[in-house]
Amino acid sequence: MFTLIPQIVIGGADLIAAFLFLFGLKRMSSPATAPSGIRVAGVGMVAAVLASFLYLFTVDAAARPHLLVNVGLAVTALLVGGAGAWMVGRKVAMTAMPQMVAIYNGMGGGAAGAIAAVELFGGRTQGATQLVVTLLGGCIGAISLSGSVIAWAKLDGLLKAPFRVTGQQVLNGLVFAATVAVGGVIVASALGVEGLGLTTPTWIWVFFALALVFGVLMTLPIGGADMPVVISIYNAFTGLAVGLEGFVLQNPALMIAGMVVGAAGLLLTVLMAKAMNRSVANVLFTNFGTPAKGKPGAIKGSERPVEASDAAIKMRYATSVIIIPGYGLAAARAQQKLYEFVKLLLAAKVSVKFAIHPVAGRMPGQMDVLLAEAGVPYDMIFQLDDINDDFATTDVALVIGANDVVNPAARTDKSSPIFGMPILNADKAGQVYVIKRGQGKGYSGIVNALFYSPNCNMVYGDAQAVLVQMIEAVRGLGAAAA
């Protein structure tokens, strides 16, 4: 038989791939080595994919007559799927990164679900354990697929408002229970139980349909500000699904890669939940992102608007400025203009730092990527714990399109829905400017006490337009001085 050598080559290639994945991810722990990390992992992927064509020497007898067709299908799928995603990934705007990560993640979940479906339809699983693991992985993969597609649609602006029905949690619970029940029916039929109403393949279709519906229902009610948690969870789900299908296919590379990603996604989920002062269970099982119905009454005073040029000149003559970017910066695609403005401040010997809240933007670390794209050196970018003490000694804090992450009510107001959430202490700076599109409330609908505090002024307008005015104002000073 010609199966021994291919199996050893495949096994070896997969082993190398698993090592390179771990090594590559390890190299991603510093900005300096990270670019080589992804390339190392890429080499592992190419090796594993090429080696997997040796599976052709080991196929089941039943599949042998279809070999040519299957190879044609495989090559077509690889080229179409790979080239399509590659081209989109190469040219998509950096501000669209969260939805791209969501959709690629959903694809992985869908692939894991489809593998489970092939194994189930082909009746290849051996024993109850393997069958249950196949169903579990398929279910998680399908949830990840449909959930990620909904997340993508929300992030891309196709789905605007969170969609909720009354009794959402009950409905979700029922759909999930039905999915589990149908999974039980499939196991029962494999164990030889008769009289289950439908044929096994039909039950398999029903099973996947229910799992897909559950993914949709689970994601629809979630608001945009909670997307960092959602993306992390689905990343973990897909990893888990891939790991479980790896067990079914007896492929350790899939098991290791999947479980590493599963753990990574879980860790990020925990970090994001912590940054919002929520437990992961709360995030998973309640309608997170529910607009607060709290009373905004307690805050006195009014928001005080100021001209962009006045704010810019104040910053130009300040000693130190900390900039707090939020989703509004991404939405206005204003990161380049922001750095242009910052460079003018730096040239005027103003100390400038960026302060990033863990859940700023729509996915973990989104602001860091946008600033990097604009050319901001990463040693100017600080995370919450590293910079929070600096606000008290800083002249100006400039908040751009961020809201809840600088709301001091999180520290002081026990009735506030965000009470206890770690925030950036922008209110402690000498002067605060907030660039905001209008007087409306933020995404969460919570009134921001900062906006009413005596040391805060509002600059209303689109972040990009405001920054252009600020740049002009500072340039105008330079010309006058020269």
Partner 1 sequence: MTFDIAMTGFVALYIFMLAGFAGWVIIGNVPAILHTPLMSGSNFVHGIVVVGGLFALFNASTPLEQGVGFFAVLLGAGNAAGGYAVTDRMLAMFKTSDAKPAHPHGHGHGRVHHLKKV
Helix (H) or strand (E) holding 431: strand 431-436
**159 in Cβ contact with 150 (< 8 Å):** yes
Tell me: does residue 103 bind partner 1 (CB under 8 A).
yes
Tell me: does residue 63 bind partner 1 (CB under 8 A).
yes
Binding residues among 164-203 for partner 1 as defined by CB under 8 A:
201
How far is it, in rounded angstroms, from Cα 199 to Cα 209? Answer: 15
User: What's the closest the beta carbon of residue 438 comes to partner 1, in angstroms?
Assistant: 28
* Binding test (CB under 8 A) with partner 1, winner from 16, 85, 132, 292: 85
- By beta-carbon proximity to partner 1, the closer residue of 152 and 176 is 152
Binding residues among 132-161 for partner 1 as defined by CB under 8 A:
145
How far is it, in rounded angstroms, from Cα 365 to Cα 356? Answer: 8
> Could you tell me which residues come within 8 angstroms of residue 266 by beta carbon, excluding any fewer than 6 positions away?
236
390: annotated active-site residue? no
- By beta-carbon proximity to partner 1, the closer residue of 210 and 449 is 210
- By beta-carbon proximity to partner 1, the closer residue of 251 and 403 is 251
**388 in Cβ contact with 426 (< 8 Å):** no
Tell me: does residue 12 bind partner 1 (CB under 8 A).
no
User: What's the closest the beta carbon of residue 292 comes to partner 1, in angstroms?
Assistant: 26
Binding residues among 117-136 for partner 1 as defined by CB under 8 A:
117-119, 121-122, 124, 129
> Could you tell me which residues come within 8 angstroms of residue 355 by beta carbon, excluding any fewer than 6 positions away?
322, 323, 324, 382, 383, 384, 387, 388, 424, 426
* Binding test (CB under 8 A) with partner 1, winner from 12, 16, 19, 38: 38
User: What's the closest the beta carbon of residue 116 comes to partner 1, in angstroms?
Assistant: 9
- By beta-carbon proximity to partner 1, the closer residue of 121 and 285 is 121
The residue to which tokens 């999947």 are assigned: 258
Q: How far is CA 424 from CA 64, 217, 230, 359, 407, in A?
A: 62, 33, 22, 11, 8
User: What's the closest the beta carbon of residue 338 comes to partner 1, in angstroms?
Assistant: 15
Stretch that binds partner 1, among 214-222, 343-351, 432-440, 442-450 (CB under 8 A): 343-351
Tell me: does residue 346 bind partner 1 (CB under 8 A).
yes
**384 in Cβ contact with 358 (< 8 Å):** yes
Tell me: does residue 30 bind partner 1 (CB under 8 A).
yes
- By beta-carbon proximity to partner 1, the closer residue of 357 and 436 is 357
- The packing angle between helices 34-51 and 4-27, to 10°, is 170
Binding mask 301-320 for partner 1 (x = CB under 8 A): ------------------xx
Stretch that binds partner 1, among 166-174, 325-333, 350-358, 425-433 (CB under 8 A): 350-358
* Binding test (CB under 8 A) with partner 1, winner from 68, 192, 194, 379: 379
Binding residues among 318-337 for partner 1 as defined by CB under 8 A:
319-320
User: What's the closest the beta carbon of residue 372 comes to partner 1, in angstroms?
Assistant: 4
> Could you tell me which residues come within 8 angstroms of residue 41 by beta carbon, excluding any fewer than 6 positions away?
20, 21, 23, 24, 25
Beta bridge partners of 306: none
* Binding test (CB under 8 A) with partner 1, winner from 160, 295, 300, 349: 349
* Binding test (CB under 8 A) with partner 1, winner from 173, 291, 294, 365: 365
* Binding test (CB under 8 A) with partner 1, winner from 12, 33, 420, 476: 33
Tell me: does residue 481 bind partner 1 (CB under 8 A).
no
From 404, 413, 427, 462, the catalytic residue: 404
How far is it, in rounded angstroms, from Cα 233 to Cα 242? Answer: 14
Tell me: does residue 59 bind partner 1 (CB under 8 A).
yes
User: String of b and e for 54-83 (b: at least 16 CB within 10 Å)?
Assistant: beeeeeeeeeeeeeeeeeeeeeeeeeeeee
- By beta-carbon proximity to partner 1, the closer residue of 178 and 264 is 264
How far is it, in rounded angstroms, from Cα 268 to Cα 263? Answer: 9
Identify the sign of the CA torsion 315, 316, 320, 326. positive
Identify the sign of the CA torsion 418, 272, 456, 394. positive
Binding residues among 220-239 for partner 1 as defined by CB under 8 A:
231-232, 235, 238-239
- By beta-carbon proximity to partner 1, the closer residue of 323 and 356 is 356
| 129 token code pair | 């354990």
User: What's the closest the beta carbon of residue 452 comes to partner 1, in angstroms?
Assistant: 30
According to DSSP, residue 290 is labeled P
Tell me: does residue 267 bind partner 1 (CB under 8 A).
yes
**199 in Cβ contact with 190 (< 8 Å):** no
* Binding test (CB under 8 A) with partner 1, winner from 53, 419, 443, 460: 53
User: What's the closest the beta carbon of residue 324 comes to partner 1, in angstroms?
Assistant: 15
Stretch that binds partner 1, among 38-46, 154-162, 293-301, 409-417 (CB under 8 A): 38-46
How far is it, in rounded angstroms, from Cα 369 to Cα 378? Answer: 10
Which 3-state string (H, E, C) describes 464-475?
Answer: HHHHHHHHHHHH
* Binding test (CB under 8 A) with partner 1, winner from 16, 249, 306, 313: 249
Catalytic residues, by residue number, are 404
